[in-house]
Structure 1
């Protein structure tokens, strides 16, 4: 009897398809999690991430419905597609969690962040810092003879770019709020 000449992993329809269907590409996802506004909920959500070694790049939390006692947790995290699916599934199993939305895959969304940047400088550095702030539409919210505090709102990438340009001009401190995000269009997410 002749041996079958089947090439390993030749087709996805083959019984002998031994290719890995798991991607090792790291993706950045923004998750909106609607939770009951009660003590310990945030700790449970964060515990899920830390207990499994998942990283949180940004975290924002605020009450969105006073009467309904609901809060919105916006989490920016990174991982392989399989890890992101696992995170969403595990978040959905936490009892005070009402909804989990992956804004990255559910369609277009808007992300914004607020940052305060303290820049020390004199002379030409001071003038250049003000010029760049104008280009980036950053506001001066505090000024002394030695420093400025700028307020900037925009995408995380915009804030990163502004901070990178301020670094050689005397950037001293940065405070960021974390990402706030909403789906675009008529889809209502908490």
Structure 2
């Protein structure tokens, strides 16, 4: 089983996200993450979907997506060099004596503190999934109170 990152260019219409996610559910394909936003073309949105499967599964996903009327283009990003990023906001328990240690972790990961409470800090980190997972592991001992992750967004590198 391999992780696949797929970009899907779709018409920006109500219900498209539901139809795409419903297709995955009906076919028994799992979505690890999905991000959706405007694309460079007016009227089109770009979905970036991370899923798991072998090459046959990926081929089936692509074929099924193209059957949806609002799908314009499907691109397997993971088959080429790509830039992939995710954003996470992590609220961690941080009493004043612990803050220097936590700030050391934040600095090491080139993250930033975006909010400070009396007994907590909210940290923003951007990077690949492994970087975010590693930072979460280092912050767990302090007590993660809340966390929100965007899911992966990606593009092909260079002139592709």
- What range describes the TM-score normalised by the shorter chain of this pair? over 0.9
Distance 1:30 1:43 in 2: 19
Match of 1:86 in 2: 60
5 Å-filtered alignment, 1:27-176, equals 27-65=2-40, 67=42, 69-105=43-79, 107-176=80-149
Name the SS of the counterpart of 1:104 in structure 2: helix
Distance 2:97 2:111 in 1: 18
> Which ranges in structure 1 are unaligned for 5 or more consecutive residues?
1-25
Residues 79-106 of structure 1: per-residue CA shift (max 9 Å, x gap): 122111111111112111110000011x
Q: Which has the higher contact order (CA 8 A, sep 6+)?
A: 2
Q: More helix per residue: 1 or 2?
A: 2
Name the SS of the counterpart of 2:4 in structure 1: strand
Match of 1:8 in 2: none
Kindly name which structure, 1 or 2, has the bigger radius of gyration based on alpha carbons.
Answer: 1
Residues 32-62 of structure 1: per-residue CA shift (max 9 Å, x gap): 0000001111111101101111111110001
Across the aligned residues of Structure 1 and Structure 2, the Cα RMSD in angstroms comes to 1.2
The two structures have a TM-score, normalised by structure 2, of: 0.96
Runs of 4+ with >6 A deviation? none
The two structures have a TM-score, normalised by structure 1, of: 0.81
Q: Is the 8 A contact 1:126 1:169 kept in 2?
A: no
* Count, aligned residues: 160
Q: Is the 8 A contact 2:94 2:142 kept in 1?
A: yes
